[in-house]
Amino acid sequence: MASLELTLFAFVVGLTTCGLVGSMMELLSGRKVAFVEPYVSPSHVLRSLAATAGAGPFMLLNDALDAQRQRRISMVALLSCGCTAIAWSLALGVVVLAIASWVVRLLGSGLPA
């Protein structure tokens, strides 16, 4: 049961991180997050990677919902994008928790590792 709880916790951390980063990007730019300029640009690769790493699931779902509304993708493709966003959020949560654990150990906190 502990592994299920840890998995759900990592998913929720990833979902929260994605939502916070995506909302912050939308507030700063005034545009919906998506895999387009100003968020993803071949001339600013590192910035694009950081934006995609932090808000990628949010971007993917926005693009997939827009494409489905315009009838460019089917419902099956939309569900596939949704499943990918769920897996991406889980992976993002695992990375965020690993970085947080590393920082706590690096700073020498009295908390158990």
Q: Where are the domains of the chain?
A: 9-93
Residue 111 predicted with pLDDT over 80? no
Alpha carbon distance 60, 66 (integer Å): 10
Could you report the per-residue pLDDT of 51-64, keeping only the tens digit for each? 999 999 999 999 99
Predicted confidence at residue 38, as pLDDT, reads 85
Alpha carbon distance 15, 64 (integer Å): 17
Mean pLDDT, to the nearest integer, of 66-89?
96
Predicted confidence at residue 55, as pLDDT, reads 93
Give CA angle at 21 (65, 111), nearest 5°: 130
Mean pLDDT, to the nearest integer, of 87-91?
96
